[in-house]
Amino acid sequence: MTVASQQPDVSDEAALVSQAREGDAKAFATLVRRYEAKIFRLAQHVTQNREDAEDVLQETFLKAYEHLDQFQGNSKFYTWLVRIAVNQALMKLRKRKTDRSVSLDDTIDTGEDTVAREIASWDENPEQRYSREEMNQILTAAIESLAPPYRTVFVLRDVDELSTEETAEALDLSIPAVKSRLLRARLQLRDKLTRYFKRKGDDAFAYL
C-alpha cells in the first residue's frame, strides 16, 4: 500500500534551507508548507491523538528552525524533520505513560533476509461493496492498531515512500531492524485485515 507523492526538487530544497539559515522567514515557511501535512500525519500515527499531533507538528518545526545550523545536508531535509518529529512524538507518549512499547530502540529479531510480500492489492471487485473511503477508514484503523515501532516504520516506508536507508537514518535504526519491523507490520496488518473481513463474511477477501 503506497501513496504516490510528488518529490520536491533537491536543489530547490537546499536553496530554501540555505536561505532559512540566513534568516529568511519566507523560505522556512515554504519548507513548512511543503512538509507539514506529512509530519502531522506521522505524528498522529505515533501519538494517536490529534491534539498531541498538533503539538508535535509545532514543536518539530520550532526545533528545526532553532537548530538549522545543525542540519549538515547529508540527508534529505524531510528525513531530518522525521527524526525530530518522532522524538517529539515519543516524548508525548512517555509523558502520557499510556503505552509501554514506545521505544524505537527495543530489541527486535532482525534475521529475516527477505521482506514479506506486499499486502495484496485489491481490484475494483471489492469496491462494489466497500467504497474507497470506507476502505481507507478500515486500513487507517488497522495501521493505528500497530505498536508504535512498527506503525512508524510502516508509515515512513509504505505511505511516505522513504527508502529503507532513509527510514533507518530518520529513526536511528539499522537497516536490518527497519526490514524486520516492516515485515512484522505488514504481516500484522495482513492478519488484522483477514480477520476483519472474515468476521464480515466477505469471501472477496479470502485470498489475503
Look at residue 88 and tell me if it is in a domain: yes
Look at residue 160 and tell me if it is in a domain: yes
Please report, for residues 184, 189, 190, the alpha-carbon distance to residue 116 in angstroms, rounded to integers and kept in the order given: 9, 12, 10
Q: How many domains does the chain have?
A: 2
Could you report the per-residue pLDDT of 149-208, keeping only the tens digit for each? 899 999 899 888 889 998 998 888 999 999 999 999 999 888 888 877 777 654 444 434
Look at residue 148 and tell me if it is in a domain: yes
Same domain membership, residue 138 and residue 80: no
Look at residue 64 and tell me if it is in a domain: yes
User: Residue ranges of the alpha helices (H) in the chain?
Assistant: 10-21, 25-47, 50-66, 77-96, 132-144, 148-154, 164-171, 175-199
- Which of 51, 77, 96 is the last residue before a domain boundary? 96
Q: What pLDDT is attached to residue 102?
A: 45
User: Domain range for residue 76?
Assistant: 10-96
Alpha carbons 66 and 28: distance in angstroms, whole number: 11
Look at residue 47 and tell me if it is in a domain: yes
Same domain membership, residue 152 and residue 91: no
- Which of 74, 96, 118 is the last residue before a domain boundary? 96
CA-closest candidate to residue 156, choices 76, 47, 45:
45
- Which of 80, 96, 112 is the last residue before a domain boundary? 96
Same domain membership, residue 201 and residue 142: yes
Alpha carbons 160 and 100: distance in angstroms, whole number: 26
Look at residue 110 and tell me if it is in a domain: no
Same domain membership, residue 81 and residue 130: no
Could you report the per-residue pLDDT of 18-58, keeping only the tens digit for each? 999 888 989 999 999 999 999 999 998 888 888 999 999 99
Give the predicted TM-score (pTM) of the model: 0.63
Q: Looking at residue 21, which CATH number applies to its domain?
A: 1.10.1740.10
Look at residue 104 and tell me if it is in a domain: no
Look at residue 58 and tell me if it is in a domain: yes
Q: Looking at residue 192, which CATH number applies to its domain?
A: 1.10.10.10
Could you report the per-residue pLDDT of 65-119, keeping only the tens digit for each? 999 988 888 788 999 999 999 989 888 888 876 544 444 444 434 344 333 333 3
Q: What pLDDT is attached to residue 13?
A: 86
Average pLDDT, whole number, for the chain?
Answer: 77
Same domain membership, residue 136 and residue 87: no
Same domain membership, residue 137 and residue 79: no
